[in-house]
Chain A
Amino acid sequence: MNSIRWRNITTQLREQKIGIAAIAVLVLFVIAAALAFLSKYDPNQIVVLDRLKPPDSNHWFGTDDYGRDYLARALYGGRISLSVGFLSMVISVTLGMTVGTISGYFGGWVDNLLMRSVDVLMAIPSFFLMLILNAYMKPGIGTIIVIIGALSWMGIARIVRAETLSVKEREYVLYARVSGQSKIRIIIKHIIPNIMPTIIVSATINIASAILMESSLSFLGLGVKQPNSSWGSMLNDAQSFISEAPYLAIIPGVFILLTVLSFNFLGDIFRVAFEPKANKR
């Protein structure tokens, strides 16, 4: 990452005001989730008398069917949604980067083996596989993170491999090879830093899709489960009260939409900033 690339990003952000809005939304959500403990209500405190109260000055987001403060639940839920999204991204980017660089750099049968495995994994509808694995394995947030991460790296591996193929023919890589550096060292020291832009773009968009997957799984009741809650599992509960308390369904959905939208916007802004050719589109 050199300074020109950073300058490209700031230029892009200045041109695309929406990017600044996206960053603002994400920063706000992360801070709110981190400071969730400052909320005056306990997200799990059940107050039967306050059941299904619409939003007012006391409970800004109203209360749910157990009388729990919905704002507090949304803050803690956001903490889980955001961390699941981020951590699964770390897993899938690490896997994708490792497989992609090794496949691209080593070539030959290694490349063949790895890429055919990618083909197989991509040929099975991954969302259904996630459902199944979630049902098979011990439920828990760790399980969800691993499952989402382990089943969404294939696209990244393909992109990284293609980039590696072109970077490995550059002169400085050839020079490093001639000077006797080991293959692993070349990959870490020379290839990966040069494909960083691609990786950052993929990572940003990957968080967006990981958050969507987590929320879909939790919505179906196969992801985050009680006593924990994420925005997706809040929607699962809210579904039964759609006519009496629509705000229960609207609030978490808007949060998911804004988060995912912001990551997608940012991903595209990075893409344009990193490859000036994409600018024309």
Chain B
Amino acid sequence: MRRYILRRVGQAVPLLLFISIISFALIKLAPGDPVLSFVTPNMGAEDVERIRQNLGLDKPVYVQYLLWLKNVLSGDLGYSIVNHRPVMEQILGRLPATVGLMGAGLLLSLLISIPLSMYAGSRKNRPIDRILSLFSYIGISIPSFWFGIMLIYLFAVKLHWLPSMGMRTVGSDSILDIIKHGILPVTVLLYMNVSVYMRYIRSNTISQLEEDYVQIQYAYGSTTGTVLWKHVFKNVLLPVITILGMSLPELIAGAFITESVFSWPGMGSLGITAVYGLDYPIIMGITMLSSIMLVVGNLVADILYGVVDPRIKTMG
């Protein structure tokens, strides 16, 4: 087991290095001189030169990269060129909002999609299965931002039930208020996720139900309910781990779009604002961080899979 984990971690390291090179390139290729972001009107040419040296910009590119990497590893991602605050501080400040939104979305989608798609799978091609499958087709085809706008129109503009934007009402500090603001964005994420998960879990349930062990349970006189929840459930959980790892990119992209539709003050809307303002240090920081999240997420999924299913260890 330890060797398996070590090998997986070992594979992730070069990946992370490549990501860091690409992020560095994003900064280097950005139009304009990075020094300019540090220059104030009353500085002379010597001051500018001093800053250039401090930033290592007079050295060859690979030295600049190494210096930059050293800073990144010690948690220093530089300063925003728009508001001059540290990038790390800004991203960390936005992280809880994103993690809360995504976490709620992810957890609820698992709780909903697993029972729903197992039920659909056990009623293959019956009306309920057809309806659920149409529902999931629409979910993977609907533009998430449009779904969000429609929800805003219905529940905020027409019915006035829920707030349409932001994370809290000004002056309010209650958890309930945050939850109220979160309902619509979480609904968008939920519909996207559930639709994707359902397709995999349903087809997995169907193939599990054809296995011998299921037939034997039936022969022993178990009811469909018992077979589904006591036996098929465990085997369906396995691929769910992989699906989770696989769906991370969409989850991150979904966060960018959903956060900007609902003005949710998370990392996604920070990223989009940074792209509008060409705030390269922030763009780079978010690219790095979301890529690391992706790599680590996949790594954790792989390792979990190995832990849960002992057969994996011996293979590739």
Check if A265 sits within 8 Å of B137, measured CB to CB: yes
Check if A120 sits within 8 Å of B149, measured CB to CB: no
Instruction: Give B290's nearest chain A residue, CB to CB.
Output: A125
| Min CB gap B56→A, angstroms | 23
**Interface window among A3-11, A40-48, A61-69, A241-249:** A241-249
B307 at the interface (CB under 8 A from A): no
| Min CB gap B19→A, angstroms | 6
A256 at the interface (CB under 8 A from B): yes
Task: Summarize A's interface: helix, strand, loop or mixed.
Answer: helix
- CA A233 to CA B137, docked complex, whole Å: 24
Check if A250 sits within 8 Å of B257, measured CB to CB: no
Check if B137 sits within 8 Å of A261, measured CB to CB: yes
A175 at the interface (CB under 8 A from B): no
A270 at the interface (CB under 8 A from B): no
- CA A219 to CA B253, docked complex, whole Å: 14
- With A222-B275, A265-B137 known to touch, is A128 a contact of B153 (CB < 8 Å)? no
**Interface window among A96-104, A131-139, A176-184, A191-199:** A131-139
Contact with A along B250-272 (1 / 0, CB 8 A): 00110011001000000000011
- Interface size, A (range): 35 or more
Q: Which residues of chain A from 260 to 279 have any CB-CB distance to chain B below 8 Å in the complex?
A: 260-261, 264-265
B111 at the interface (CB under 8 A from A): no
- Interface size, B (range): 35 or more
Q: Which residues of chain A from 135 to 157 have any CB-CB distance to chain B below 8 Å in the complex?
A: 135-136
A235 at the interface (CB under 8 A from B): yes
Check if B256 sits within 8 Å of A249, measured CB to CB: no
Check if A257 sits within 8 Å of B146, measured CB to CB: yes
Residue of A119, A127, A132, A257 near B15 (CB, 8 A) is A119
- CA A126 to CA B287, docked complex, whole Å: 10
Check if A125 sits within 8 Å of B249, measured CB to CB: yes
- CA A131 to CA B274, docked complex, whole Å: 10
Check if B140 sits within 8 Å of A127, measured CB to CB: no
- CA A217 to CA B7, docked complex, whole Å: 38
| Min CB gap B131→A, angstroms | 13
- With A125-B249, A128-B252, A135-B275 known to touch, is A257 a contact of B290 (CB < 8 Å)? no
Q: Which residues of chain A from 199 to 251 have any CB-CB distance to chain B below 8 Å in the complex?
A: 208, 212, 215-216, 219-222, 232, 235, 238-239, 242-243, 246, 249-250
- With A135-B275, A242-B152, A253-B149 known to touch, is A125 a contact of B138 (CB < 8 Å)? no
Residue of A135, A136, A257, A281 near B206 (CB, 8 A) is A281
Q: Which residues of chain A from 23 to 77 have any CB-CB distance to chain B below 8 Å in the complex?
A: none
Q: Which residues of A contact B6 (CB under 8 A)?
A: none
B30 at the interface (CB under 8 A from A): yes
A122 at the interface (CB under 8 A from B): yes
Shortest 3 CB-CB contacts between residues of A and residues of B: A127-B253, A253-B146, A261-B141
Q: What are 30 A-B pairs at a CB distance below 8 A?
A: A119-B15, A120-B19, A123-B294, A123-B295, A124-B19, A124-B287, A127-B252, A127-B257, A128-B252, A128-B271, A128-B286, A131-B256, A131-B271, A134-B275, A212-B141, A219-B145, A220-B272, A222-B275, A235-B143, A235-B145, A239-B149, A242-B149, A249-B146, A249-B153, A253-B143, A256-B146, A257-B143, A257-B146, A261-B141, A265-B137
Binding site for B on A (CB under 8 A): 116, 119-120, 122-129, 131-132, 134-136, 208, 212, 215-216, 219-222, 232, 235, 238-239, 242-243, 246, 249-250, 253, 256-257, 260-261, 264-265, 280-281
Binding site for A on B (CB under 8 A): 14-15, 18-19, 22, 26, 29-31, 137-138, 140-146, 149-150, 152-153, 157, 203, 206-207, 249, 252-253, 256-257, 260, 271-272, 275-276, 278, 283, 286-287, 290-291, 294-295, 298
